[in-house]
Amino acid sequence: MVENFNVSHVAFALDCCDREILGYVAKPHHLRSEDIQDLMLKSVQHRFKDIETPKTIQWLSDNGPQYTANDTRWLGRTLGFDVRTTPSYSPESNGMAEAFVKTIKRDYIYVNNVHSAKQVMNDLHSYFEDYNEVAPHKGLNMLSPRMFLRENSN
């Protein structure tokens, strides 16, 4: 397969309570259900250090075939997710994710004058780490997601 590095396809898991990016996948091709399944597993392991959630948690995604595939939905349920999709043609129903994409583009990709998808894919880890550790959020009293988590872990 010839990889096209003019475009990158990225999926991420965003915790809607603390806004931490729990995991991501990035490929130079359209994402497949296996990629989303990897993301689900990475996210659960990151947050819970286990292979399932301690209680049922909602997993909200759009309606792309990689998200709605039977294998993806089955794995999500196995991991402890209540697998849901947003209404079709309704980006506002997934506002936090849409806002996060705008933030990454504005505060990381455009600021760093990134000109290739390959460079974006190489730099995503550092962008997401900075976002999680440093980027303040109004909804978190101007703390970064991980600062908020540390401050509120009892």
Percentage of residues of the chain with pLDDT beyond 90: 66
Look at residue 91 in the predicted model and tell me its pLDDT.
65
Query: Domain span at residue 26?
Result: 9-152
- Domain membership of residue 124 (yes or no) is yes
Residue 54 placed within a domain? yes
Cα separation, 125 vs 121, whole angstroms: 8
Specify the CATH number for the domain of residue 129: 3.30.420.10
Q: How many domains does the chain have?
A: 1
Q: For the purposes of burial, counting CB atoms within 10 Å of the CB of 67, is it exposed (0-12), middle (13-18) or buried (19 or more)?
A: buried
Nearest to 27 by CA among 45, 61, 62, 3: 3
Identity of the residue numbered 3:
E
Single-letter amino acid code for the residue at 59: W
What is the C-alpha separation between 4 and 24, in angstroms, rounded? 19
Q: Is residue 1 part of a domain?
A: no
Does the residue 2 lie in any domain? no
* Higher pLDDT pick, 7 / 130: 130
Over its C-alpha atoms, the chain yields an Rg (Å, rounded) of: 16
Query: pLDDT averaged over the chain?
Result: 90
- CA–centroid distance for 63 within its chain: 15
Q: Determine the pLDDT at residue 135.
A: 94
Q: In the prediction, which pLDDT does 154 show?
A: 65
Q: How confident is the model at residue 78 (pLDDT cuts 50, 70, 90)?
A: very high
